[in-house]
Amino acid sequence: MVELTWTGKYDASGRKVAPLRLKLPFQTVETVNESAQERQMMLDMFTAGRPAEGRNRLIWSDKKYVLPALLDEFAGEVNLIYIDPPFN
């Protein structure tokens, strides 16, 4: 089996270290202006009975802090997270 490893994943005795969970102050920076009809169509198509608050959320931050912060809200609910790597 393949395992992703990174510095700090295990402590000195070889036990996994729990991720640092910070309560991050997310804020809305921009809202796209869409018609009520378009919005309802998209909500019906993508939410399928789930709350729409997490729909189309773009977070600009370090994944090391963001992913653990979102765990409580989205545990068991997310099928895919796309993380765009930095291009330095």
How many residues are there in the chain? 88
pLDDT classification of 19: cutoffs 50, 70, 90: confident
Annotate the chain with three-state secondary structure: CCCCCCCCCECCCCCECCCCCCCCCCCCCCCCCCCHHHHHHHHHHHHCCCCCCCCCCCCCCCHHHHHHHHHHHHCCCCCCCCCCCCCC
Amino acid at 87: F
Which tops the pLDDT comparison, 49 or 34?
34
Can you give the pLDDT at residue 11?
92
Average pLDDT across the chain, whole number: 76
The 8 Å CB, 24+ separation contacts for 74-81 are 77/50
pLDDT at 13 over 90: yes
pLDDT at 61 over 90: no
pLDDT at 54 over 60: no
pLDDT at 32 over 60: yes
Put simply, whether the predicted model's pTM sits higher than 0.75 gets the answer no
Rounded average pLDDT over 40-57? 65
Q: How far apart are CA 52 and CA 33, in angstroms?
A: 16
